Structures are given as structure tokens and as C-alpha cells.
Structure 1
Amino acid sequence: MTFANVGTLGVQPGKAEELVAILTRRNPEMEQAGCLVYEVGVSQEEPDTVCVVELWESTEAHRASLQLPSVQAAIGEARPLLTGEMGGYRFEVAGSPLRD
């Protein structure tokens, strides 16, 4: 069943653009690991919060992706930019009106 991870990451003031650049860097390994969608953005109302929407083939695919060397490197690069404030939701997708 498709797994969704929708989250927010608090970033150090003025560092959102830098974090977005890290998170949007092309990574074919993620697709090979089962990532269906990975979208990153920033709201004008909260410029020091980065939002991430992920869809994965399964919870296991998401979990396994966290062990990829490229993902571990991105996490290490991003960590100093974060404030530690995180929010969001994780859930198994029940369906969509856009697909069968």
C-alpha cells in the first residue's frame, strides 16, 4: 500500500533556500528505492519552514531509503540548517479520485 509522509522542517533563519537546494538535488536512487513523489516547498507565511510531501511504494521502501548513502549524505548536509522543530503526518494512502 502506498505510504505518505507529509512533514515540515524548521530551519535556521534565512536558510530555507539552502535546505531546499539540498532536498531537491536530483537523486535517481530514491526513485529506484520506490519513491513515487517527493515535493519540497516553502510558504510565504512561514519562510523558515520547509514543507516536504513524499509518496512511497510502501512504508518499507521509505524506511530502506533512509539507509542509502546519497540520502545519508543529504541528511548530514541538511542537519546543521535545521532548528529541530518538525511536524507532519505519516499514513497509508486509502485512495485518490485521480487514479484507479
Structure 2
Amino acid sequence: MYGLIGRMLAAEGRREELLALLLEGSAPMPGCRSYVIARDPGSDNGIWISEVWDSREQHQASLHLPHVQETIGRARPMIAGFDQRFETEPQGGIGV
């Protein structure tokens, strides 16, 4: 399995709008076992995204899905950047 945990930074004052868009755009994706979007309680603009995939290749392929491309396009003006990114090798757990 392939895991990815990253912190996205929303543009000032746009975190709630960005969260809503990310949640709206999170339709099922082949190979995705878990996709969790969370507010960072220590930051007014931070959003944590935690993902578990069957493989790195399926994660990469998901970035080309039409609904993912649409969500990325709509979200781009609301994103100030990404400041943390961690790749993991999930071994199992609940919902995985």
C-alpha cells in the first residue's frame, strides 16, 4: 500500500470554502482505501489530507480522473501552498 499525509494551506480566509470543495469533490477513486480531510486545529489556514492507496501508481492515476481535475482547477485559487508532505507504507488498520 501507499500512504500520503500532507498539509495544505488555504489562502487567507478561504479555508472553510476550500474544505467544502475538497469534501464535495471526494468521489470514489479506484484503489483508494481511505481519503480523510481535516482542519488543522493549530492553524487558521491549515488542512490535513491523509490518503491510503493500494499503490503509488493508483494514486498517480487518480490525479488524471475528470472529477479530480475539475476539483483541482476549482481549488487552485483557494490554495496558498503545501508546507508538509509525508509518504508512508501503510500496513493495515481499521478502514484500510
Q: State the match for 1:19 in structure 2.
A: 18
Normalised by the length of structure 2, the TM-score is 0.87
Q: How many residues are aligned here?
A: 94
- List 4+ stretches of structure 1 deviating above 6 A: none
What secondary structure sits across from 1:24 in the alignment? helix
2:47 matches 1:50: yes
Aligned-residue identity in percent: 33
In structure 1, runs of 5+ residues without a counterpart are none
Q: State the match for 2:3 in structure 1.
A: 4
Q: State the match for 2:58 in structure 1.
A: 61
Paired with 1:22 and 1:55, the residues of 2 have a C-alpha distance of 20
What secondary structure sits across from 1:45 in the alignment? coil
CA shift for structure 1 position 8: 0.4
Paired with 2:42 and 2:51, the residues of 1 have a C-alpha distance of 22
1:31-50 equivalence runs, <5 A: 33-50=30-47
C-alpha change, 1:97 and 1:82, in structure 2 (3 Å) is: closer
C-alpha change, 1:15 and 1:97, in structure 2 (3 Å) is: closer
What secondary structure sits across from 1:46 in the alignment? coil
Paired with 1:98 and 1:67, the residues of 2 have a C-alpha distance of 28
Paired with 2:19 and 2:65, the residues of 1 have a C-alpha distance of 19
